[in-house]
Amino acid sequence: MNSKKTAFSKIYHIILFCLFNLIAIPLVFFIIEGVASTFLFFQEVLQTQPIAEANHTQYDAQLGWVNLPQVDLPNQYGPGIDVTTNSQRFRNQSDFSRLVPADKIRLICSGDSFTFGYGVDNAHTWCHLLMAQDSRLQTVNMGQGGYGVDQAYLWYKRDGTKLEHDIHLFAFITNDFQRMQMSEFVGYGKPLLNVIDDKLEVTNVPVPQTSSAYLWLVQNREAVIDLKSIQLFSGIRPHEDKLAQPNSAQIDNKEDAALVAVKIFQDLQHLNQSKDSVLVLVYLPTLTDYYQDTADTKLWRERVQAIAEELDIVVIDLVNDFRELPGYQVQNYFITPEAAVRPEAAGHYSAAGNAYVAEKLYEALSSLPETSDKLKDKENHTVTNHFHESSN
């Protein structure tokens, strides 16, 4: 009898041991997997820097965001690579008077991060380097990271027109037309432009102010999506980026976007003519544009040319100039991922790239009749003033 009880007890303990292991081993695995996933999640979050604009911009009800005044960030993009703004919120060391100095030719540079000079210091943006081409030039940098064509236009209309100027360089990349169709960019709300009854109307204003929680979610979207629990309960597969999608574009299609672009360029032309300034549309190339002629870039380059011809606006398209360069040289003109202290700086113009853009722009400005005449008129005016001063 005792032997039967002993055998039964042994079987019972074996069964318990097996059941325990069947439960414990998966449980330990789940715990280790959960801890590892959580550790990697927080590691990635801690390594993710806030976007650079968070250091020098603030919410703006009309534009979405705009530079803070009088910012001085000596190491914004790395040791000694500064970002400085004046009290007028432009990326310049000092303020500008309303009137153009008698011995200067003032250029306003409007655009996105390629105009702002993302990844380089104030002295190495293409807008600033234009002054190295001609000492008579005085340049105002109204570039802003993340801006679409719409925001660059609205900022110039609000603040740029407060200054008298001789030439307005309105620069853009292909993505700026796509941003124009969005009601937010990387989590930040922005205005929308639509053509209603043949008039340009600003909508989505005042721009909704985004919560810090949503901005955090967008900024850390890759880490969040990599969490297995998120993939399980949301149905998002690894590397899908549904959280990164901006609010649905509220300009229905590219034809509507082209109509908005026409109205923007038309108003820019009118605003510049009222200032006795020459408007110049500048199509800036990206590294992608060098290696492939994407459908969007091809489409918008053709549209910009057609709109400019219709409205009699000067265009400087630098895409072909870049494509004629050897590959090794072009690589030197863009910030590489290895050289970028901030990941988002990769793909923007390096100091050498900005210098090349400044050189090509000045060559074009000097050769195009509308702008070369402006340069000559100023030169003649300066000579005449000096003659009168010496006579007196």
Across the chain, mean pLDDT equals 85
Does residue 246 register a pLDDT over 50?
no
Residue 52: its pLDDT value, please? 79
Question: Hey, how many other C-beta atoms are within 10 angstroms of the C-beta on 387?
Answer: 10
User: Crossing angle for the helix pair 369-391 and 351-367, nearest 10 degrees?
Assistant: 80
Give the residue, 368 or 31, on which the prediction is more confident.
368
Same domain, 319 and 376: yes
Task: Please give the share of the chain, as a percent, with pLDDT higher than 70.
Answer: 76
Mean pLDDT computed over 374-390: 53
Residue 222: its pLDDT value, please? 57
Q: What angle do CA 64, 68, 74 make, to 5 degrees?
A: 130
Question: Hey, how many other C-beta atoms are within 10 angstroms of the C-beta on 22?
Answer: 10
* pLDDT one-digit tens code per residue, 279-291: 999 999 999 999 9
Residue 208: burial class (beta carbons within 10 Å; 0-12, 13-18, 19+):
middle
Phi, psi of 215 (to 5 degrees): -60, -40
Answer yes or no: is 84 within a domain.
Answer: yes
Same domain, 219 and 310: yes
- Alpha carbon distance 355, 246 (integer Å): 34
Q: DSSP characters for 190-248?
A: --EEEEETTEEEEES-SPPPPPHHHHHHHHTHHHHHH-HHHHHHH-PPTT--GGGPPSP
pTM of the predicted model, to two decimals? 0.81
Same domain, 89 and 109: yes
Same domain, 161 and 301: yes
Same domain, 143 and 2: no
Q: Cis link prior to 101 (omega < 30° from 0)? A: no
Same domain, 67 and 183: yes
- The answer to whether residues 314 and 308 touch, using CB atoms and an 8 Å cutoff, is yes
Token look-up 């297995």 returns 228
Does residue 48 register a pLDDT over 60?
no
Alpha helices, DSSP H, located in 235-343: 254-274, 287-291, 295-311, 319-323, 327-332
Same domain, 283 and 327: yes
Task: Please give the share of the chain, as a percent, with pLDDT higher than 90.
Answer: 68
Same domain, 37 and 76: no
Least Cα distance to 193 among 181, 184, 185 occurs for 181
* pLDDT one-digit tens code per residue, 359-380: 999 999 999 999 999 888 765 5
Mean pLDDT computed over 198-224: 75
Residue 202: its pLDDT value, please? 97
Q: What is the CATH classification number for the domain harbouring 309?
A: 3.40.50.1110
Name the pLDDT band for 208 (thresholds 50, 70, 90): very high
Same domain, 131 and 88: yes
User: What is the distance in angstroms between the CA of the first residue and the CA of the last residue of the chain?
Assistant: 134
- Alpha carbon distance 131, 129 (integer Å): 5
Give the residue, 48 or 60, on which the prediction is more confident.
60
| Domain boundaries, position 35 | 1-47
Domain count, the chain: 2
Name the pLDDT band for 35 (thresholds 50, 70, 90): low
- The answer to whether residues 142 and 90 touch, using CB atoms and an 8 Å cutoff, is yes
- Alpha carbon distance 157, 268 (integer Å): 8
Residue 379: its pLDDT value, please? 59
Name the pLDDT band for 128 (thresholds 50, 70, 90): very high
Name the pLDDT band for 169 (thresholds 50, 70, 90): very high
Q: What residue type is assigned to position 23 of the chain?
A: I
Same domain, 145 and 35: no
Residue 5: its pLDDT value, please? 62
Same domain, 317 and 341: yes
Encoded tokens for 220: 């850390």
Does residue 382 register a pLDDT over 50?
no
Answer yes or no: is 54 within a domain.
Answer: no
User: Using only C-alpha atoms, what is the Rg of the chain?
Assistant: 28
* pLDDT one-digit tens code per residue, 77-123: 999 999 999 999 999 999 999 999 999 999 999 999 999 999 999 99
Same domain, 6 and 78: no
Displacement of CA 234 from its chain's centroid (Å) = 30
